[in-house]
Amino acid sequence: MLCTTCGRENPEGNKFCVYCGQPIMSAVFPKKRDLEAPIADIARAVGQRKNSDKTIPIYLGAIPIAITLAITVVFVAILASMLSDITDMASPEEYDPAQLYADYRDYFLVMIPLEIGFYLFFGIITYFLVKRNNDHFARDAALASAMSGFVDQVNLKAGLGRTRAPAYGSPWDNQWGTSMTSVGSTPRNPMLWAMVVMLQGVLGTASIVAVVEYPNTLEVSILASLVSLVLSVMTVYMWYFLMTDNKVHDQSWAQNAESFKISLARLGYTAGSIMSPPRQPDRSFALYFVLSIVTGVFVFYWWYILVKDPNEHFRFHAIYEDEMLRVVSNHPSWLSASASPR
């Protein structure tokens, strides 16, 4: 009897290798009917993917860029025209702020729908970014539990108890399922963070209206700007946790997915066809924050990354899960048993 761990022959009937001490899986591997329930649990968690792992089209990133360009063009045109009118005045005494506001009132008001559209769009994107993280992390918790339960059942049905010996899944341990679900265990409120983003548009609009319609009420514009600043800080924090949660979760998933692949190979499965999950780039929040402050436009690339990286993560998840499910459903011992004459 060949030990699948060290490759040495053992006396017939041994459950453990006399050389390395590891379980000899080929001698005790459960029948397929004994593992139908845990395999079904894995299949159920994989099937939930269509509801949780929603990809966001990358091309939507062009919309806020177009809106920003429109706002910039309008603002620069207004400012240039105002400066031209002021310099054309014969003397400072001719400068009348009230008349200048009246002349350019309609131009300033054109910026209101652009401002609202900009933050409304990002509010919607924010909602889906936070919600899909919640949904994906919850599904991963179910998948991790199902995969962990599968190994438990293999041990139980093989008569080896619940202890996971190295040959059954090293580097697995009793905390395997916990490590995959540690990130995102407390869901974040997607509506709250969407409102944080959209309220910045409301306050920006209030500032424009206050300046244009009520130029003497500077306090209103200042207050709106201060509150908007607080919301901007909250938005930066949202970028931080989206970026960090995704990175930590991706690293944890890649490690555990690779461990499960190794476990399947040691259980006698043909696991070579299962993709080894790639890791996401290790992006620096501090670098992205500084570049966004310095350039202003880098923030659009930041949004792009927050959309793209999870999209890629979901794509690799799907490839891994589909092949993993196919493999666990077809142990070589089951195929040879079904092919043997009765």
The contacts of residue 292 (CB under 8 Å, 6+ apart) are 298, 299, 302
Virtual torsion, Cα 309, 314, 316, 322, nearest 10 deg: 180
Question: In the structure, what pLDDT confidence band is assigned to residue 172 with cuts at 50, 70 and 90?
Answer: very low
Residue with the bigger pLDDT between 218 and 58: it is 58
Q: Which two tokens stand for residue 172?
A: 């697995």
Please report how many Cα atoms fall inside a 13 Å half-sphere around the Cα of residue 327, on the Cβ side: 24
Question: CA–CA separation, 137 vs 66, rounded Å?
Answer: 33
More confident residue, 331 or 75: 331
Q: Which of 100-104, 132-136, 185-189, 216-220 has the highest mean pLDDT?
A: 132-136
Cα dihedral value 321, 322, 325, 329, nearest 10: -170
Question: What pLDDT, on a 0 to 100 scale, did the predictor assign at position 15?
Answer: 75
Helix 97-157 vs helix 298-328: crossing angle, to nearest 10: 20
Task: Report helix, strand or coil for 39.
Answer: helix
Name every residue whose Cβ is closer than 8 Å to that of residue 204 and which is 6 or more positions away in sequence: 115, 119, 224, 228
Residue 92, pLDDT above cutoff 50? yes
- What pLDDT is stored for residue 70 in this prediction? 74
Contact assessment for residue 324 and residue 261, using Cβ atoms and an 8 Å cutoff: yes
Q: Token pair for residue 151?
A: 């190994």
The average pLDDT across 229-256 equals 90
Check whether 132 has a pLDDT greater than 90. yes
Mean pLDDT (whole number) for 116-121: 84
